[in-house]
Structure 1
Amino acid sequence: MSCQYGDLRRVDTTGASFETARADGKQAGGVAASHSMAADDLNAMNRYKSLIISVGQAKGVDPAVIAGIISRESRAGKGLDSNGWGDHGNAFGLMQIDKRWHTPQGGPFSETHISQATQILVDIINFEVKKKFSSWTKEEQLKAGLAGYNMGLSRVHSYERVDESTTGKDYSNDVIARAQ
Structure 2
Amino acid sequence: MGGYGDVLSIDTSGASQETANQDDLPYDGVDASHNMAETDLDRMNAYKEIIQKVGQQKRIDPAIIAGIISRQSRAGNTLKDGWGGDCWGLMQVNKNYHTLKGAWDSEEHIRQGTDILIGVIGNIKTKFRAWTAEQQLKGGLAAYNCGPRAVRAYDRVDENTSGGDFANDVVARAQWYKNHGGF
TM-score in same-fold range (> 0.5)? yes
| Aligned residue number for residue 37 of structure 2 | 38
| Aligned residue number for residue 12 of structure 1 | 11
| Aligned residue number for residue 156 of structure 2 | 161
How big is each residue's C-alpha offset from its partner over 1:23-61, in whole Å with a ceiling of 9 and x where there is no partner? Answer: 221111000000000000000000000000000011111
| Aligned residue number for residue 62 of structure 2 | 63
Q: 1:71, 1:48 → 2: CA distance?
A: 11
After TM superposition, the structure 1 = structure 2 runs for residues 164-179 of structure 1, keeping only pairs within 5 Å, are 164-179=159-174
Q: Percent of pairs identical after alignment?
A: 55
Give TM-score, length-normalised by structure 2.
Answer: 0.94
Q: 1:60, 1:29 → 2: CA distance?
A: 31
**RMSD (Å) for aligned C-alpha atoms:** 0.8
- The size of the alignment, in residue pairs, is 175
Shift of 1:22: 1.2
Please, which runs of 5 or more residues in structure 2 have no aligned partner?
176-183
SS at match of 2:46: helix
Query: 4+ residue stretches of structure 1 with deviation over 2 A?
Result: none
Q: 2:152, 2:50 → 1: CA distance?
A: 33
Shift of 1:111: 0.3
How big is each residue's C-alpha offset from its partner over 1:62-107, in whole Å with a ceiling of 9 and x where there is no partner? Answer: 00000000000000000000x2000x2x000000000000011000
| Aligned residue number for residue 88 of structure 2 | 92
Q: 2:22, 2:50 → 1: CA distance?
A: 28
Shift of 1:3: 4.5
The one-letter code of the counterpart of 1:54 is: K
SS at match of 1:104: coil
The one-letter code of the counterpart of 1:153 is: P
Give TM-score, length-normalised by structure 1.
Answer: 0.96
Match of 1:111 among 102, 107, 128: 107
Please, which runs of 5 or more residues in structure 1 have no aligned partner?
none
Q: 1:91, 1:41 → 2: CA distance?
A: 19
The one-letter code of the counterpart of 2:113 is: A
| Aligned residue number for residue 148 of structure 1 | 143
| Aligned residue number for residue 178 of structure 2 | none
| Aligned residue number for residue 97 of structure 2 | 101
Q: 1:165, 1:100 → 2: CA distance?
A: 18
The one-letter code of the counterpart of 2:110 is: I
Q: 1:32, 1:103 → 2: CA distance?
A: 36
